[in-house]
Amino acid sequence: MAASVISLACVEIQGTLDKLTLHETVRPHAQRLPQKKTVALSVPSQSDVDVQSLVKQLTLQEKVSLLAGDGLWHTAAVKRLGIPRIKVTDGPNGARGELFTSGTKAACFPAAVSIAATWDTGLAKRIGRAMAEETKTKGASVLTATTRLGPTVCPHRSPLGGRNFESFSEDPLLAGLQAASVIQGLQENGIAATIKHFAANEQETMRNAIDVVVSERALREIYLKPFEIAIKQAKPLALMTSYNLVNGVHADQNTHLVKEILHEQWGYDGLVMSDYGGTNSLEDTIKTGVDLEMPGPPRHRTLAAVEKALASGSLDMASIDDRVRSVLQLVKNVGKFEHPDEIPETAVNHPDHQRLIREAGADGIVLLKNKGGILPLQTSSLSSIAVLGQSKTCFSNGGGSANLNAHYKITPYEALQKAVGETTELRYAIGAQIYRKLPCWTSGVTDHNGQPGWTMLEYDVKDKNVPLSDDMQPQRVYAFPQTTYMAIEHISDAVRLEGTFTPASSGAHYFSLPAFGHAKLFIDGELAYDAGPSPDPRAFSEGGPFEEKKQHHFVQGKSYQLRVEVLAPKPEQAAIPMMAGRIMFHLGFMAQEDYEEDVVTSAVEAAKRADVALVFVGNSAEWETEGHDAANMSLPAFGSQDRLIEAVAAVNPRTVVINCSGVPVAMPWIDSVAGLLQCWYQGQEAGNAIVDVLLGAVSPSGRLPVSFPRSVEDTPSYGNFPGDLATGTVNYAEGIKVGYRHYDKHPDKVLFPFGAGLSYTSFEFGPAVITPRELVHGGFITVRLQVKNVGAVAGKEVVQVYLAPLPTEARGADRPERPIKVLAGFSKVAVAPQSAVSAAVEFSFESAAFWDEKADCWAVDCGEYAVLVGNSSVNHTKVGTIVVNESFTYGP
């Protein structure tokens, strides 16, 4: 029998309560980058192992074994010389462990975009520390992933990017500083971070093959800058290359990116690994400086291939030794020579992590509209609240590699119910269905033993195109829990799922069967649906195309024999080779009366009779996910959530929308609602975090890390996202005009600007003191001011400092166009009511620089620069000027 792994996603609910503690501290944030060419790595642990000596003792076969992974989650070991292996684990918003869907339980932290929305680097560092503790419980030394790692720092180029939620911001400074803080928290606690994806990986459409055509200036100022900041400030021990091509060359083979910029110009000396399945050659990637091909077994770095390349002279031993040395150095840096044993994965539900996730989730929530001060809700004066939409869903994370088996998930409805107790009536109605895949087919199904669930049979067949034999015996029986979503991963040639279905009602009920492999559904022995072969696992696991829904007429009380047969794709058929031999499928079902039910009317009736209506909407992990870019900015599904909001707002003027998404969404209803909270993905404590803000236990202090445009047509990348799929190219034609750098010149096209966010209190900024007034090469400028809370409740404010260069015409017609302003630094301060604290923001000379393509270096023009201070990219005041008396350039 073939070996098998079966995973099932399930949801468990529990919760804790906590109160936010405000600390009156000043945290300066600045782009302070070391100017040394060589970046010395921060090392969590050291031993007396001589890496160079080890390299000399290795045989060629042993060296080659170290150049690729040992399976999905490990580097290779060399027992002869006592070289242990390293375990890696996924890290977008937690440490998942080895299994993708139902592995060891783990803490689910807020997504990176939510961390960025806090504008708090100290909080980001604390999250990194907690993630390090979580990673250790999974027996891993590197926070990484299959096909992804953490943290992700690629800027948000378009709101349609399916994976934006995993990254921080449209602004390279904010993204770089927050990523650096997470990395520092991880590595100070003995876990190596792997920054990703290097570089220009801003879309999921054709991500393995798309060629990004980007100017050197845009590459340097926007897309590489967050990497540069994080690498120079936090010194991550590992880096992952991206799948895509950059200006015609795959990232892992891109000499300009990896060898010239990363290694030579930035002096990076950490390990470079490929994205999973993202190695495209043998010789080129080794010469460029990619140390590790992931996962194993290798496609390119085989012993036979290396021996052939050495014999032909296309590869030399010195390059191989360099790559091996980097792998061994990482083994040493994470302390594996001292502690070679791998501990079993465990689930540690740490109370400190629970509190931190709740605090961070609330701090990232952005209050965007609060007409008439409708928030915070005063429950003592409310007899009833309509709780509508997705309030019984915990939007903890986006889809794809961000999935993990959370310790628990708190929904907003649960948190609100617990908070208001018996004093206020909650009137619930879903109002809109947003499922992308039909719910798991579990209700009414029994297995071979008559127990709830299905029987799983596994086969070992020589030819996967041969139908399953009837004489094979079942290897295992598997009963699915009653969950709302099923995901099965199965490593085998072929599987069969069998069960007896007794419907609770008659009707033309709906079913679906998306799969990775060739799936068929039989009802009473007759073929009811042939899904056909699917060689691309993303069609199942990461969104992909919409599932096809079919109908079959069932009679209430009658028993039907169901059988699902799935054949794995052949290795040469699999779109992602590392997935060959793996079977994945989802069997969905919904009764006709449920699928076609009018759910809006009940929501409207609940809203009519309530003192206030809370409408919870957003992008579930099925809709916002790795492997799939959105087609538009509309909320799913097919206008259902927009119709719900509009219908509710028409009958209740006290309507508050709570949106959970990692990206801006279209808001055709914005003028009709009284309140709006942007809540991102806040991890396992999402419900508590949202209710903390709704009820005023926490005054909202999140600020937008991305601009919210009015429509997708207003975005700078419109027309060039996701590119020309016929030619496989995407042109970054907007250049450096990304995010607010674009909207500053088109203010009518932005709905909510970068950096914006309201509070339950009010702040005033005192006069600013700028020192020094002259900016020189290597110099720094500090802006100091008082921040006063003039309101009645404690709160936090983000002081944002922007630097505005002279207009192009004042600098000379031959000088490149500059943005109106750029974010130079920021500081988040907590202020008690009727009190004031000092804030200090420091920024470096590099905030005034641009990439001079003619000179191929950074340049700073002489002249005056305005210093702007405010709390968003549009709400600011000029507080003074600084001067550059003499133009200068400097190297990368």
Tens digits of residue pLDDT in 747-761: 999 999 999 999 999
C-alpha span between 172 and 228 (Å, rounded): 9
Q: Is 612 exposed, middle or buried (0-12, 13-18, 19+ CB in 10 A)?
A: buried
Judge whether residue 148 has pLDDT over 80. Answer: no
Confidence of residue 517 (pLDDT cuts 50, 70, 90): confident
Residue 677's SS3 state is strand
- Per-residue model confidence (pLDDT) at position 56: 96
> Please, what's the b/e burial string for 702-712 (b: 16 or more CB within 10 A of its CB; e: otherwise)?
bbbbbbbbbbb
C-alpha span between 319 and 326 (Å, rounded): 11
Mean local confidence (pLDDT), 97-117: 86
pTM of the model: 0.89
Confidence of residue 327 (pLDDT cuts 50, 70, 90): very high
Confidence of residue 482 (pLDDT cuts 50, 70, 90): very low
Structure tokens at 442: 């579990």
Mean local confidence (pLDDT), 83-105: 80
- Per-residue model confidence (pLDDT) at position 833: 98
Judge whether residue 16 has pLDDT over 50. Answer: no
Quick one: which of 45, 79, 87, 49 has its CA closest to 62? 79
C-alpha span between 677 and 660 (Å, rounded): 9
Of the candidate ranges 34-38, 98-102, 301-305, 582-586, the one whose mean pLDDT is the lowest: 34-38
Catalytic residue among 171, 252, 275, 744: 275
Helix (H) or strand (E) holding 238: strand 238-241
Residue type, 596: E
Question: For 874-883, what is each residue's pLDDT tens digit?
Answer: 999 999 999 9
Of the candidate ranges 152-166, 257-271, 350-364, 466-480, the one whose mean pLDDT is the lowest: 466-480
Look over the chain and give the mean of its residue pLDDT values, rounded to a whole number.
87
Q: Is 249 exposed, middle or buried (0-12, 13-18, 19+ CB in 10 A)?
A: middle
Structure tokens at 808: 């192009």
- What is the share, in percent, of the chain residues with pLDDT greater than 70? 86
- Per-residue model confidence (pLDDT) at position 100: 64
- Per-residue model confidence (pLDDT) at position 227: 98
Confidence of residue 440 (pLDDT cuts 50, 70, 90): confident
Mean local confidence (pLDDT), 343-356: 91
Mean local confidence (pLDDT), 144-156: 67
> How many helices (H) and strands (E) would you count in the chain?
19, 40
Judge whether residue 815 has pLDDT over 90. Answer: no
Residue spans of alpha helices (H) in 589-734 = 592-595, 600-608, 640-651, 686-694
Residues whose CB falls within 8 Å of the CB of residue 407, separated by 6 or more in sequence, listed in order: 12, 14, 105, 106, 107, 108, 347, 349, 684
Confidence of residue 539 (pLDDT cuts 50, 70, 90): low
In DSSP notation, 539-566 reads HHHT--SPPPEEEEEE-TT--EEEEEEE
Phi and psi based region of residue 400 (left: phi greater than 0; alpha: psi -120 to 50; beta: remaining)? left
Confidence of residue 6 (pLDDT cuts 50, 70, 90): very low
- Per-residue model confidence (pLDDT) at position 469: 43
- Per-residue model confidence (pLDDT) at position 141: 67
Residue type, 423: T
C-alpha span between 137 and 115 (Å, rounded): 23
Q: What is the largest CA-CA distance in the chain?
A: 87
Residue 291's SS3 state is coil
CB atoms within 10 A of CB 371: 15
Quick one: which of 361, 357, 356 has its CA closest to 702? 361
Quick one: which of 880, 650, 619 has its CA closest to 774? 880
C-alpha span between 481 and 513 (Å, rounded): 19
Judge whether residue 575 has pLDDT over 90. Answer: no
Respond yes or no: is residue 90 known to be catalytic: no
Confidence of residue 2 (pLDDT cuts 50, 70, 90): very low
Confidence of residue 7 (pLDDT cuts 50, 70, 90): very low
User: At what angle are helices 121-137 and 351-364 packed, to 10 degrees?
Assistant: 140
Confidence of residue 218 (pLDDT cuts 50, 70, 90): very high
Q: How many residues does the chain have?
A: 892
- Per-residue model confidence (pLDDT) at position 492: 60
- Per-residue model confidence (pLDDT) at position 23: 28
Quick one: which of 508, 484, 507, 471 has its CA closest to 496? 471
- Per-residue model confidence (pLDDT) at position 811: 64
C-alpha span between 609 and 605 (Å, rounded): 7
Residues whose CB falls within 8 Å of the CB of residue 392, separated by 6 or more in sequence, listed in order: 411, 412, 413, 414, 428, 430
- Per-residue model confidence (pLDDT) at position 43: 43
Determine how β-strand 549-554 pairs with β-strand 455-459. Answer: unpaired
- Per-residue model confidence (pLDDT) at position 306: 98
> Please, what's the b/e burial string for 212-247 (b: 16 or more CB within 10 A of its CB; e: otherwise)?
bbbbeebbbbbbbbbbbbbbbbbbbbbbbbbbbbbb
Confidence of residue 701 (pLDDT cuts 50, 70, 90): very high
Confidence of residue 480 (pLDDT cuts 50, 70, 90): very low
Of the candidate ranges 18-22, 382-386, 388-392, the one whose mean pLDDT is the lowest: 18-22
- Per-residue model confidence (pLDDT) at position 857: 97
Residue 672's SS3 state is helix
C-alpha span between 210 and 724 (Å, rounded): 9
Determine how β-strand 850-852 pairs with β-strand 769-771. Answer: unpaired
C-alpha span between 692 and 127 (Å, rounded): 19
Quick one: which of 230, 110, 151, 90 has its CA closest to 680? 110
Residues whose CB falls within 8 Å of the CB of residue 153, separated by 6 or more in sequence, listed in order: 167, 168, 175, 176, 179, 195, 196, 226, 227, 230
- Per-residue model confidence (pLDDT) at position 143: 53
Radius of gyration of the CA atoms of the chain, in A: 28
C-alpha span between 178 and 173 (Å, rounded): 8
Confidence of residue 695 (pLDDT cuts 50, 70, 90): very high
- Give the DSSP letter of residue 474: P
Residue 467's SS3 state is coil
Residue 256's SS3 state is helix
- Domains along the sequence of the chain with CATH: 55-333 (3.20.20.300), 355-434+596-708 (3.40.50.1700), 445-595 (2.60.120.260), 763-890 (2.60.40.10)
- What is the share, in percent, of the chain residues with pLDDT greater than 90? 71
